[in-house]
Amino acid sequence: DLEPYKIDYQNAREITKADFIDTHKRTKLDVGDILLANSGHTIGKILYVKQNPKVARTTFQKSVAIIKPDNELVIGRYLYYNLLANVQGLKRAAVGSAQPNLLLRDLRRFKVEVEIELETQKQIAKVLSDLDAKIEVNNKINQELEAMAKTLYDYWFVQFDFPDANGKPYKSSGGKMVFNEALKREIPEGWEVDKVSSCCQIIDCLHSKKSDYIYEHEDYYLLQLENIKQDNQLDVSKKYYVSKAEYERWTTRIEVEDGDLVITNAGRVAGLAQIPKNVKAGIGRNITAIRPVKINPTFLYYTFQGAEMERQIKLNTDTGSFFKSLNVRGIKELLLVRAPKHLEDKFEDISLKHRRQRELNSLQNQKLSELRDWLLPMLMNGQVTVGEVEQELGMIAEGNTKYESL
């Protein structure tokens, strides 16, 4: 539940007041605290707790350490960035092989450099938090753009209240609906139902041993499951590089590009993302590519997020003894509700603008993250000063440096 900039309450459990009081006695969470995951594969996830009405009502059962800064010795945000710069050291301090744990005893002994003036700590924290603030703003803009497009898709293609010939909402205004036998429900008269395979190419990954990580060139990398995020966005800030020969082998079937969909078919089944402009890559294990051919790509993207597609995917998912899998055969059998071409084209015109803006924001965030990650150790060990960084960032804002794309 620890996201880079917030606590994600979506999957949090609600408990009784009595249980809350009992656990809150020793795990009271306050604004300005630092949360550190200290168990299993999540070790090293760190979050600085900002103002949020839910914070006072939040408690943790296990696997999260709460660090309360001594404000006379260290600024909370500075300590957060200091720990962030030492994530690998924190992971190495964990014990246990099957399920590593960072014991509180070892966390208390972990050394961080805080022997600098509080004012300098504030200045360092501000430089880094300003970059994070811009990333967070872009994330919120992207969430709003995504919500707008989803709302429009739902209104037109789920509720069927697209503008009719008179500009009125079709179904609400009495537009004729007909029963579709394949879907077992009504759809607007004149609409059709197609299989995904009739309007898209479905290309599976190579069922081959995972290639060794080798960096030869920026262009040679394979998408992994972790590149496909829970919010259906593609994150290529961390790339799995392979040799040129391996890249060519893995892309014999397809090299995904702008508009293609990638969908996971094992582990987190049906995790989805769309390839943004200016990205080309191979697809790694347990990923299938869907290339739109006779359908608009953005329309296809939102169709795959709809409730109807979610229902079908559950029906077409094979259940194994250890995990579920969505195979290529099942993807090909999925059904799409197709509106008249002029309506799909109109939706594409509107939603594509939103998608392009999200892609630009995501690209900017990637560059901002790279800049922050480069600055983090440099500021902490004194290789660069706050003054030098502020001067450089000022030049970036004016567009006079190599970071002009920011």
All structural domains of the chain: 17-115 (3.90.220.20), 135-178+339-406 (no CATH), 192-338 (3.90.220.20)
Lowest mean pLDDT among 52-61, 66-75, 325-334, 371-380: 52-61
- In this prediction, residue 163 has a pLDDT band, given cuts at 50, 70 and 90, of very high
pLDDT at 243 (0 to 100)? 96
Which carries the bigger pLDDT value, residue 276 or residue 94? 276
Beta bridge partners of 186: 179
| Most confident stretch, 68-77, 100-109, 274-283 | 274-283
Kindly tell me if the per-residue pLDDT of 398 is higher than 70: no
> Which among 101, 106, 103, 30 has a CA at the least distance from the CA of 68?
30
Lowest mean pLDDT among 67-81, 98-112, 239-253: 98-112
To the nearest whole percent, how much of the chain has pLDDT over 90? 48
Q: Are 337 and 157 in contact (CB under 8 A)?
A: yes
User: E strands, 182-267, where?
Assistant: 185-188, 192-195, 200-204, 221-223, 240-241, 261-264
What is the spatial distance between Cα 68 and Cα 50, in angstroms, rounded to a whole number?
13
- In this prediction, residue 21 has a pLDDT band, given cuts at 50, 70 and 90, of confident
To the nearest whole percent, how much of the chain has pLDDT over 70? 94
Kindly tell me if the per-residue pLDDT of 403 is higher than 60: no
- In this prediction, residue 96 has a pLDDT band, given cuts at 50, 70 and 90, of confident
pLDDT at 323 (0 to 100)? 57
Lowest mean pLDDT among 98-107, 173-182, 340-349: 98-107
Average pLDDT over residues 196-202: 96
Radius of gyration of the chain (CA): 25
pLDDT at 347 (0 to 100)? 97
Verdict on whether the full-model pTM lies above 0.85: no
Beta bridge partners of 222: 240, 282
Which carries the bigger pLDDT value, residue 19 or residue 395? 19
Burial of 116 (0-12, 13-18, 19+ CB in 10 A): middle
Which carries the bigger pLDDT value, residue 4 or residue 200? 200
- In this prediction, residue 324 has a pLDDT band, given cuts at 50, 70 and 90, of low
